[in-house]
Every structure is written in C-alpha cells, then in structure tokens.
C-alpha cells in the first residue's frame, strides 16, 4: 500500500494481517474501526469465551495470559483477536490492559461489511493467517 499521512491508516497498513490490502481497502477498514480508550485492568478477551472483536494496540500495553500464566505482552502496533473474525470460536487467551490503552477495534459486523464490499480481502487475510501459522509452527507437517 502506498504510504499515507494519516497515522490511523499507517498503523492499520503496518499490521501484517492487512499487508496485502490496497489503499482503498485500508481506508475502508479505517472507517469501520473504532478507537477506544480503556483503563488499566480492563479485560479485553477472556480465554474460552466467544470472540467477536479484533484489536490493534495504538498506545499502552496489554498482557496475554493462558491458563493464568503470562505468555506475552503486546504494545503499540501489535494486534490480537484476528482468529475471532474468521471462526467466531472461543478465545485462545485472556488479554488484560496493564496500563491505560488506546485501541482500534473492529467488530464482526464491521468485518462482514468489509468482506461484502471487498470480497478479496477475506482471501488476503486467510493467506496472512496461514503465513503466521507457518511461522509459528515451522516443523508442522502438511
């Protein structure tokens, strides 16, 4: 995607999940995402609960936990919840804001709107997810 001077669109374009998106698709996604501020301690996702939102961390940090143990910490430019947009299944981790955060949020309705207007984005996201899975599981046999 060609660079833009809009910081929100730059952040979206920098997310590997959207790497294959063209400028029109990034701009459409930007219109569908809400920016929200959350307080320290706010639970964004709960392991095992159904998921309907995707998040990009704009500022602040969040802690990722599995079975009550910290497995990661995410900060500006990082994202979470992408699997929920595809399968609507249970969350794979609990994510908690460790300080006040600003987040960009895409809910399932916004995702469906994007896919209906730009049908090719679903394939682009699936390819990006497959690449992430391949990188996470380099020894996986297919």
| 48 phi-psi bin (left φ>0, alpha ψ -120 to 50, beta other) | left
Residues 6+ apart with CB under 8 A from 2: 23
Q: What pLDDT shows up at residue 4?
A: 54
Residue 44 exposed, middle or buried by CB count within 10 Å (0-12, 13-18, 19+): buried
The domain of 82 spans 7-134
Residue 37 lies in a domain: yes
Residue 85 lies in a domain: yes
Residue among 58, 5, 15 at smallest CA distance from 36: 58
pLDDT at 24 over 60: yes
Model confidence band, residue 1 (pLDDT cutoffs 50, 70, 90): very low
Residue 75 lies in a domain: yes
pLDDT (tens digit, 9 = 90+) per residue, 45-61? 999 999 889 999 999 99
What's the whole-number mean pLDDT along residues 119-124? 90
Helix%, strand%, coil% for the chain, nearest 5: 35, 30, 35
pLDDT (tens digit, 9 = 90+) per residue, 78-121? 999 988 878 888 999 999 999 999 999 999 999 999 999 999 99
Residue 142 lies in a domain: no
Residue among 40, 99, 100, 93 at smallest CA distance from 70: 93
Q: How many domains does the chain have?
A: 1
What's the whole-number mean pLDDT along residues 40-47? 96
Residue 64 lies in a domain: yes
DSSP-assigned letter for residue 33 = P
100: domain CATH number is 2.60.120.10
The pTM assigned to this predicted structure is 0.87
3-class secondary structure for 103-141?
EEEEEHHHHHHHHHHCCHHHHHHHHHHHHHHHHHCCCCC
Residue 139 lies in a domain: no
Residue 141 lies in a domain: no
Q: Above pLDDT 90, what percent of the chain?
A: 68
Q: List the Cα angle 24/11/71 in 5-degree steps.
A: 130
Model confidence band, residue 5 (pLDDT cutoffs 50, 70, 90): confident
DSSP-assigned letter for residue 19 = T
Task: Return the minimum-mean-pLDDT range out of 41-45, 66-70, 101-105, 119-123.
Answer: 119-123
Residue 78 lies in a domain: yes
15 or 1, higher pLDDT: 15
State how far the Cα of 53 lies from the Cα of 47, in Å rounded to an integer: 14
């Amino acid at each position: 995607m060609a660079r833009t001077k809009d910081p929100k669109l730059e952040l979206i374009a920098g997310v590997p999940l959207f790497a294959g998106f063209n400028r029109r698709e990034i701009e459409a996604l930007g219109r569908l995402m809400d920016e929200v501020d959350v307080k320290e301690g706010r639970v964004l996702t709960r392991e095992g609960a159904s998921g309907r939102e995707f998040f990009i961390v704009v500022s602040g940090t969040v802690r990722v936990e599995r079975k009550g143990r910290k497995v990661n910490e995410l900060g500006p430019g990082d994202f979470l919840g992408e699997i929920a947009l595809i399968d609507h299944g249970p969350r794979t981790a609990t994510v908690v804001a460790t300080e006040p955060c600003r987040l960009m949020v895409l809910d399932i309705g916004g995702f469906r709107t994007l896919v209906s207007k730009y049908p090719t984005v679903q394939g682009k996201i699936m390819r990006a997810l497959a690449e992430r899975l391949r990188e996470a599981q380099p020894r996986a046999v297919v």
